[in-house]
Structure 1
């Protein structure tokens, strides 16, 4: 069977994820520009993050549940269209409410993109679900790392209106995703294979308890990520007295490490089990996060790379573990967990921004260093005892 088509689809969906998350991280990396240009407080910066992540967190589970029942192959391109409009409005915003509306449109685009894109990755996986999820997610993490560089090179030197240039990225994404939509529609027109009989035999109560543990681990992961992604620039400037451009590069190092960790987390989970990866990646970073607020500039760069790499490896494992926990609900699970990640990140940014206004950004980093200890809850995750499926070739075109 020809396997190249499915890998091309995985590459296309990962590339689209790269474009989508580049635009999101570009928004975050432009915060210093908005803070000075609109005279914003840290709390208002947090509200911008909340506005685009809150729309994503509310809509993603709904989108996923709906498309589980009614697949919409071209909804991916439509979602990217929302992002395009949001970027154009962001470049022209003259008031804080306009900034919030533009950010919400970017979030709405992501809420449509993520559940269906995750479904496409699973459809094209050929049974290697962790690997496919990592390939999909690493595109997003690479985009998050690339956004700060674009802010340094283009947005900060040329100002707010230069954000309009990046609507071309969204347009490119719409073109790529239209092609993915054609493949997606073709797969749904094919005769469906018989459903797999392998699965777990956990009672409903334990399934709900396991979901609660996964959500607590997500809280730990994404609140800590919010402290880094939204405020690392301001922390570096306040604590180490470095220039904005230097702090932007440190954010790039962290986000690049996140991308590398995401790429490896899924396939490692395929080999050694999701539970082990989740346990090691979340709880294992605690010594490094506890040390981070007390080291020098060079050591902080090293520690942030280690933290980003280890923490990111958990998310592909969590998503695939949850998909196996709730078989047949790929869109619902993907929407729930991607949406939860966005929502927790947005709430975390808003809460931590308010705390930073009152206590200072350095104190907030010291407080957040304890969050990975929540990873101890991973001991309550059951082994699902799924029979390993025979890995077949990915779906052909």
Structure 2
């Protein structure tokens, strides 16, 4: 494994997701207050980010599988971070939606290329390499909520423009490895005609459903659990976001450990087992209080997101002839499904209250177990 390259992809992934999927859900209460939004309108902000990212990722991946454009790797993350930074100066709700959509578009360009680069640098430890890459993104998501009080206390939302510094940093980090990445892509294209692997589309279908259900769990907790703590348990905003950090931080840890272990115990075994273990903690979410709440949220985040890295590798095994498109589907479709889920759950909150969402989330891991069992195992794919 080319560790230096993998860690470069991981760090830029952290920067990208810190200021997109990490901060966007954390900013929802602030946008709601600033522009007097309903929960449905609030959910649309997440949708604007997630849907542009999700639509772009598999399409861009399929496109670059045929006609690589390696320069889009640094360009994508620059657009992603800059778009979010400019929302700090957005004068209206409509401008927020537009800039968030631009940010999502950049993220959609970045992810399949960065994931493919990680695949090239992984050697024989693909699960571990993807875990390092994905834990960068998950760490960014976890750190996002912690940074919101800092910006509000010292700079206001206009201070989000400072994130443009991170955009430039990520751009130059990726420019340093661009010659290596271009060489790897060219070598891959020359070997493609010799590949004997076949795409397994039924398995792709079932895996996409599992990714969707997992994404709904993630966005449901990250975007709306703080509202539950704020309004149902009378917590402070800072404490509610700290619990959100606990959930996402546990997910980052689970992503790393799950990706590393999947190389040993098998991807399907870990996928089914992690969803099954997450199920009872999902049931306990609405009832956990005090220290018990911290424990439940940590364990739920750890297990529900511990399959994140391995589902990328799994998708690449199901689509051996379309590595970039596989990465776009595994990462991008989950992001888009999360945006759709956020809008749906926001609508449900407007009708039935925030507690309903936690009940909805509680059944999703069990459904994911059922669909995971339908995915062919690695041994069957290799035969």
Please report the TM-score for the alignment, with normalisation by the length of structure 2. Answer: 0.94
Residue matched to 2:164: 167
Residue matched to 2:296: 303
Confirm whether residue 376 of structure 1 aligns to residue 357 of structure 2: no
Distance, in Å, in 2 between the alignment partners of 1:76 and 1:156 is 34
1:97-112 correspondence runs (5 A): 97-112=94-109
Q: Is contact 1:290-1:369 (8 Å) kept?
A: yes
Confirm whether residue 315 of structure 1 aligns to residue 308 of structure 2: yes
Q: Is contact 2:282-2:362 (8 Å) kept?
A: yes
Instruction: State the Cα RMSD in Å.
Output: 2.0
Aligned counterpart in structure 2 of residue 22 of structure 1, from 6, 9, 18: 18
Residue matched to 1:183: 180
Confirm whether residue 121 of structure 1 aligns to residue 118 of structure 2: yes
Structure 1 residues 114 and 194: CA distance shift in structure 2, 3 A: closer
Distance, in Å, in 1 between the alignment partners of 2:35 and 2:73 is 33
Confirm whether residue 67 of structure 1 aligns to residue 56 of structure 2: no
Higher helix share: 2
Q: Is contact 1:145-1:255 (8 Å) kept?
A: yes
Q: Is contact 1:130-1:317 (8 Å) kept?
A: yes
Structure 1 residues 168 and 302: CA distance shift in structure 2, 3 A: same
Q: How many residues align?
A: 379
Q: Is contact 1:152-1:248 (8 Å) kept?
A: no
Q: Is contact 1:74-1:177 (8 Å) kept?
A: no
Q: Is contact 1:286-1:370 (8 Å) kept?
A: yes
Q: Is contact 1:28-1:49 (8 Å) kept?
A: yes
Distance, in Å, in 1 between the alignment partners of 2:36 and 2:304 is 33
Displacement of 1:106 in angstroms is 1.1
Distance, in Å, in 1 between the alignment partners of 2:7 and 2:365 is 32
Please report the TM-score for the alignment, with normalisation by the length of structure 1. Answer: 0.91
Confirm whether residue 146 of structure 1 aligns to residue 129 of structure 2: no
Distance, in Å, in 1 between the alignment partners of 2:187 and 2:210 is 38
Confirm whether residue 349 of structure 1 aligns to residue 342 of structure 2: yes
Distance, in Å, in 2 between the alignment partners of 1:88 and 1:372 is 34
Consecutive unaligned residues of structure 1, counting only runs of 5 or more, are 389-397
Distance, in Å, in 2 between the alignment partners of 1:183 and 1:139 is 21
Confirm whether residue 37 of structure 1 aligns to residue 30 of structure 2: no
1:1-397 correspondence runs (5 A): 6-24=2-20, 25-155=22-152, 157-188=154-185, 207-374=200-367, 375-385=369-379
Distance, in Å, in 2 between the alignment partners of 1:353 and 1:193 is 47
Displacement of 1:224 in angstroms is 1.1
Distance, in Å, in 1 between the alignment partners of 2:9 and 2:40 is 34
Q: Is contact 2:40-2:347 (8 Å) kept?
A: yes
Structure 1 residues 148 and 101: CA distance shift in structure 2, 3 A: same
Deviations along 1:373-394, one digit per CA (max 9) or x if unpaired, are 1122222222232799xxxxxx
